[in-house]
Amino acid sequence: MNVLVVTNNPAAGEKLEKLGFRVELTEGSAKQSLLHARDLVINGWHLAADPRGGYNKRYNPCHTVFLCDEACSNMGEDVLVLEKLAQFRDSPYRPDDPHTDLELKDFQTLDTSIALRTTEHLKNYMDESSFKKVRKE
Protein backbone atom coordinates (compact mmCIF):
# COMPACT_ATOMS: atom_id res chain seq x y z
CA MET A 1 0.00 0.00 0.00
CA ASN A 2 1.34 3.41 -0.99
CA VAL A 3 0.29 6.44 1.03
CA LEU A 4 0.11 9.99 -0.25
CA VAL A 5 -0.36 12.89 2.15
CA VAL A 6 -2.03 16.09 0.93
CA THR A 7 -1.64 19.12 3.17
CA ASN A 8 -1.50 22.89 3.16
CA ASN A 9 0.47 22.80 6.42
CA PRO A 10 4.23 23.10 5.77
CA ALA A 11 5.04 22.05 9.36
CA ALA A 12 3.06 18.80 9.03
CA GLY A 13 4.45 18.20 5.54
CA GLU A 14 8.03 18.54 6.77
CA LYS A 15 7.54 16.15 9.72
CA LEU A 16 5.74 13.58 7.58
CA GLU A 17 8.44 13.72 4.90
CA LYS A 18 11.05 13.06 7.60
CA LEU A 19 9.02 9.98 8.57
CA GLY A 20 9.26 8.86 4.93
CA PHE A 21 5.78 9.71 3.68
CA ARG A 22 5.20 11.07 0.20
CA VAL A 23 3.73 14.55 0.67
CA GLU A 24 2.02 16.95 -1.71
CA LEU A 25 2.04 20.43 -0.21
CA THR A 26 -0.75 22.60 -1.57
CA GLU A 27 -0.62 26.36 -1.61
CA GLY A 28 -3.43 28.28 -0.01
CA SER A 29 -6.40 27.24 2.05
CA ALA A 30 -7.53 24.00 3.64
CA LYS A 31 -10.40 24.03 1.14
CA GLN A 32 -7.88 23.86 -1.72
CA SER A 33 -6.15 20.89 -0.06
CA LEU A 34 -9.45 19.09 0.43
CA LEU A 35 -10.50 19.66 -3.18
CA HIS A 36 -7.08 18.52 -4.40
CA ALA A 37 -7.48 15.34 -2.34
CA ARG A 38 -10.96 14.92 -3.84
CA ASP A 39 -9.50 15.18 -7.35
CA LEU A 40 -6.92 12.52 -6.47
CA VAL A 41 -9.72 10.25 -5.21
CA ILE A 42 -11.56 10.73 -8.50
CA ASN A 43 -8.32 9.65 -10.23
CA GLY A 44 -8.02 6.40 -8.26
CA TRP A 45 -6.71 7.17 -4.77
CA HIS A 46 -8.72 6.26 -1.65
CA LEU A 47 -9.01 7.79 1.81
CA ALA A 48 -6.59 5.99 4.13
CA ALA A 49 -8.06 7.67 7.23
CA ASP A 50 -11.17 9.68 7.95
CA PRO A 51 -10.27 13.31 7.16
CA ARG A 52 -12.94 14.51 9.62
CA GLY A 53 -11.09 13.04 12.60
CA GLY A 54 -10.03 15.89 14.85
CA TYR A 55 -11.47 18.52 12.51
CA ASN A 56 -15.20 17.77 12.48
CA LYS A 57 -17.04 20.94 13.46
CA ARG A 58 -13.76 22.59 14.45
CA TYR A 59 -12.35 25.33 12.31
CA ASN A 60 -8.69 25.01 11.30
CA PRO A 61 -7.13 26.79 8.30
CA CYS A 62 -4.77 23.81 7.96
CA HIS A 63 -5.85 20.35 6.87
CA THR A 64 -3.89 17.16 6.22
CA VAL A 65 -5.45 14.25 4.31
CA PHE A 66 -4.06 10.70 4.01
CA LEU A 67 -4.73 8.80 0.79
CA CYS A 68 -3.74 5.28 -0.26
CA ASP A 69 -3.63 3.42 -3.56
CA GLU A 70 -5.44 0.29 -2.34
CA ALA A 71 -9.21 0.07 -2.61
CA CYS A 72 -10.13 0.32 1.06
CA SER A 73 -13.14 2.58 0.70
CA ASN A 74 -15.91 3.60 -1.67
CA MET A 75 -14.86 6.34 -4.11
CA GLY A 76 -18.28 7.98 -4.09
CA GLU A 77 -18.36 8.20 -0.31
CA ASP A 78 -14.77 9.51 -0.21
CA VAL A 79 -15.63 12.25 -2.70
CA LEU A 80 -18.72 13.26 -0.71
CA VAL A 81 -16.78 13.42 2.57
CA LEU A 82 -14.10 15.64 1.05
CA GLU A 83 -16.61 17.90 -0.68
CA LYS A 84 -18.66 18.28 2.50
CA LEU A 85 -15.54 19.23 4.44
CA ALA A 86 -14.60 21.73 1.72
CA GLN A 87 -18.09 23.27 1.92
CA PHE A 88 -17.74 23.59 5.70
CA ARG A 89 -14.77 25.84 4.96
CA ASP A 90 -17.26 28.36 3.47
CA SER A 91 -19.49 28.36 6.55
CA PRO A 92 -20.46 31.84 7.77
CA TYR A 93 -19.88 30.57 11.32
CA ARG A 94 -16.15 30.02 10.92
CA PRO A 95 -13.68 32.68 12.06
CA ASP A 96 -12.47 35.16 9.50
CA ASP A 97 -9.06 34.87 7.84
CA PRO A 98 -6.33 36.01 8.13
CA HIS A 99 -4.91 35.00 11.46
CA THR A 100 -2.00 36.37 13.41
CA ASP A 101 1.28 34.49 13.04
CA LEU A 102 0.85 33.06 16.53
CA GLU A 103 -2.69 31.83 15.79
CA LEU A 104 -1.56 30.25 12.52
CA LYS A 105 1.31 28.51 14.31
CA ASP A 106 -1.18 27.12 16.86
CA PHE A 107 -3.43 25.82 14.05
CA GLN A 108 -0.41 24.25 12.33
CA THR A 109 0.63 22.59 15.59
CA LEU A 110 -2.85 21.14 16.09
CA ASP A 111 -3.00 19.88 12.49
CA THR A 112 0.49 18.37 12.80
CA SER A 113 -0.53 16.59 16.00
CA ILE A 114 -3.61 15.12 14.30
CA ALA A 115 -1.48 14.05 11.31
CA LEU A 116 1.14 12.35 13.48
CA ARG A 117 -1.58 10.51 15.39
CA THR A 118 -3.01 9.37 12.08
CA THR A 119 0.34 7.82 11.15
CA GLU A 120 0.13 5.76 14.34
CA HIS A 121 -3.38 4.71 13.33
CA LEU A 122 -2.12 3.65 9.91
CA LYS A 123 0.68 1.58 11.43
CA ASN A 124 -1.90 -0.41 13.40
CA TYR A 125 -3.59 -1.49 10.18
CA MET A 126 -0.48 -2.32 8.19
CA ASP A 127 2.09 -5.02 8.77
CA GLU A 128 5.75 -3.94 8.99
CA SER A 129 6.62 -4.84 5.38
CA SER A 130 3.56 -2.99 4.11
CA PHE A 131 4.37 0.07 6.24
CA LYS A 132 7.89 0.18 4.79
CA LYS A 133 6.33 0.44 1.31
CA VAL A 134 4.76 3.71 2.41
CA ARG A 135 8.23 5.18 2.43
CA LYS A 136 9.49 7.05 -0.62
CA GLU A 137 11.29 4.87 -3.10
Give the separation between CA 67 and CA 51, rounded to whole angstroms.
Answer: 10
- What pTM value is reported for the model? 0.82
Give the separation between CA 65 and CA 4, rounded to whole angstroms.
Answer: 8
Least confident residue range of 9-13, 95-99, 108-112:
95-99
DSSP 56: T
3-state secondary structure 2-19: CEEEEECCHHHHHHHHHC
pLDDT at residue number 54? 76
For the chain, domain boundaries: 3-134
Could you give phi then psi for residue 9, rounded to 5 degrees?
A: -105, 105
Interval 17-48: pLDDT, tens: 999 899 999 998 888 999 999 999 999 999 99
**Partner residues linked to 3 by β-bridges:** 68
Least confident residue range of 102-106, 112-116, 117-121, 124-128:
124-128
